[in-house]
Amino acid sequence: MVALTFLAFAALFAPSVTAAPAQAFSVPHVDPTKFLCQLPILKKWVCPLKGTAALNRQTPCGTAGGIQDPQGAYRFVVKYGNAARWAPSTVASTWALPNGFTNTSALPLACPQPGLDPSNYSEDCLSMVLYVPPSLSLTSSAPTLVWVHGGSFVVGSATGVGLDGSKLAIATNSIVAVVQYRLGALGFLAPNGQNNLGVKDVITALKFLKTVIPSFGGSSSKITLAGQSAGANMIRALLAVPSASNLFRSAILQSDPMNFGFIGTTTQNTLISNFTGQVNCSGGDSACLNALSTDTIINEGMNVFSWAYILDPAAGRNQPLRPVLDGSLITSPLDSTGSFPAVSKPLLITSVSNEAGPAIYGGFPALPENMFAPLCEATFGPERAAIVVAQPLYSPVPAADGSIDARAQLQQVGTDYLWRCSGWTFARSWVSHGGKAYVGEYIVGATYPSNDWVSYCAKAGVVCHEDDIQIVFGTTPNPTSAQSALATEMQQRYKAFLSSGNPNTAGVASWIAATATDVHPILLGGSGEAILGACDPSFWGSGVQYDYQFYAQ
């Protein structure tokens, strides 16, 4: 009835189809919305909500109360799901503030993780933060960007540094939802055979969003997933979940460490066996498992994380707790080790120019050149290392004073094999099987706080892992002109992508879609395309196998 009424009134202000004769004066444009907003029956639907109505939304789950974020958007926090320890989550049926809070300005507690005071986390942590631009009306049918945080699946939250989605929501005229999910052993080492609980949490969040998002002016069919690092890895896992395909229509993967691949069930069972041995509980002893303190679960989960590579080299050194290729939820490896499925969703796939900078320069003092080969061998094994060391693109890089620090070579190798080249390989496979992908590399960034202690990451022209986050969100403190320009550009591109699946829009350089033979990696913050370098398909992925190939995950 409302839609019919709207159409009837809109017709009153529609331009006539009869061409008017040329006149010596112009007729001023009349915005029909201004007239429609004066009509009480339509005002609620076609006009942006103001005051109390804007901060108290009626949803299918109950009244959502919020506040106006200091940066301008309306902010709503909510508990999207419920879950018992080591059980799959279920969608919340009522709108409730997280953690039993009564103050709508309170932000949710994080999921249990190392490095936080226990007062700052809770196992009851399936929460999200919604940022709604004030421009939306209930009939806006705006897109929603769902941000999945990174942190190697052991740390992170919806309230991490730089993740205030207010500026991003306003710039893209979209709803931004920042979600959190179970981490560490609670999300990825369930002793009772419940794999992928963290992945299932994000699915639960998407189901909740599809129900409530129209109450904020969003469209349940215009949801884009976006995330960085492990968050992007989570999204890639969801791309391999057929049952989740209808929950989102496009995805943005920033700095996904695709070299690892999903973890195999054999490796996963090895890690779980070690965990249950450490906590002295069998997988079927629910009483023992439920009696464990959260602190014990965190600590023993991190012990597994630290020793996983020794327990099974296929786990990898840096992100051993990750989505499991279980064959039931996640049904495809989405790589060359199995049949790649037919796909259709559009993707943005980006990396930064110095992904491995924090790990290499933060983990080692200056290294003589003769350390390059043995460190490669410790990482890749002798056969793969010999090929890497012989690659001319990884030859010594003399500094201005003529000295050689092997960290420069190791940084480039790490960036290529963990992120850059493996991401380009994935893009080629994606477009070869029906999807569309746009590939980019950030050469301008904003040093993320976790990189402040790595002097290398503060050097001019260096963009380390995580340094793209505050650019995208527009949350860089005291940005330079280059950072501001790139933030504006990326938000324009994201606005276009959220609406159409294409990041091209007026006023920015053309971003050419990847093909099966040329990924056309645009330089973000520069001009032109990134050089191919060692990302030639004949080298990484062929001459030197990625870890997911080498360990036959």
Q: What is the pLDDT of residues 99-147, one digit of tens each?
A: 999 999 999 999 999 999 999 999 999 999 999 999 999 999 999 999 9
pLDDT at 28: 53
Residue 237 confidence class, pLDDT cut points 50, 70, 90: very high
Among all residues, which ones are annotated catalytic? 229
Contact between 95 and 128 (Cβ < 8 Å): no
Cα(469)–Cα(446) distance, rounded to whole angstroms?
8
Which of 448, 443, 536 is CA-nearest to residue 490?
Answer: 443
Cα(231)–Cα(226) distance, rounded to whole angstroms?
8
- Give, to the nearest 10 degrees, the angle between helix 197-212 and helix 230-239: 80
Partners of residue 438 on adjacent β-strands: 348
475-503 average pLDDT score: 98
Q: DSSP per residue over 446-498, as a string?
A: ---GGGTT-GGGGSTT--BTTTTHHHHHT--SS--HHHHHHHHHHHHHHHHHH
pLDDT at 65 over 70: yes
Cα(47)–Cα(92) distance, rounded to whole angstroms?
29
Contact between 351 and 423 (Cβ < 8 Å): yes
Residue 47 confidence class, pLDDT cut points 50, 70, 90: confident
Contact between 235 and 251 (Cβ < 8 Å): yes
Which of 332, 145, 149, 148 is CA-nearest to residue 248?
Answer: 145
Average pLDDT, the chain: 92
350-378 average pLDDT score: 97
**387 contacts: CB under 8 Å, gap ≥ 6:** 543, 544
Cα(289)–Cα(192) distance, rounded to whole angstroms?
9
pLDDT at 212: 98
Q: What is the pLDDT of residues 277-321, one digit of tens each?
A: 999 999 999 999 999 999 999 999 999 999 999 999 999 989 999
Pairing of strands 142-148, 218-228: parallel
- Report which of residues 16 and 187 the model is more confident about: 187
Residue 31 confidence class, pLDDT cut points 50, 70, 90: low
pLDDT at 39 over 70: no
Cα(251)–Cα(272) distance, rounded to whole angstroms?
31
What is the chain's alpha carbon radius of gyration, rounded to the nearest angstrom? 25
Q: What is the pLDDT of residues 225-236, one digit of tens each?
A: 999 999 999 999
Beta strands in 180-233 (DSSP E): 218-228
Contact between 358 and 457 (Cβ < 8 Å): yes
- Give, to the nearest 10 degrees, the angle between helix 372-380 and helix 382-390: 140
Question: In one letter, which amino acid is 361?
Answer: Y
Q: What is the pLDDT of residues 268-288, one digit of tens each?
A: 999 999 999 999 999 999 999
Q: What is the pLDDT of residues 158-187, one digit of tens each?
A: 999 999 999 999 999 999 999 999 999 999
Q: What stretches of 369-420 show up as alpha helix (H) in DSSP?
A: 372-380, 382-390, 407-414
Residue entry with tokens 């639907």 = 45
pLDDT at 6: 35
Q: Of 16-30, 191-205, 369-383, which range is least confident?
A: 16-30
Out of 12-16, 47-51, 240-244, give the one with best mean pLDDT: 240-244
pLDDT at 397: 85
Calculate what percentage of the chain has a pLDDT beyond 90: 88
pLDDT at 353 over 60: yes
pLDDT at 8: 37
Burial grade of 477 (CB within 10 A; 0-12, 13-18, 19 or more): exposed
Pairing of strands 74-79, 127-132: antiparallel
pLDDT at 38 over 80: no
Torsion-angle region of residue 247: left (phi > 0), alpha (psi -120 to 50) or beta? alpha
Residue 10 confidence class, pLDDT cut points 50, 70, 90: very low
Cα(198)–Cα(152) distance, rounded to whole angstroms?
12
pLDDT at 36 over 60: no
Partners of residue 437 on adjacent β-strands: 347
Burial grade of 482 (CB within 10 A; 0-12, 13-18, 19 or more): middle
Which of 417, 421, 428, 419 is CA-nearest to residue 517?
Answer: 428
Distances (CA, A) of 38 to 8, 30, 44: 15, 14, 10
Q: DSSP per residue over 247-284, as a string?
A: G-SEEEEES--GGG-PBPHHHHHHHHHHHHHHHT--TT
Question: How many CA atoms lie within 13 Å of 413's alpha carbon, on the beta-carbon side?
Answer: 27
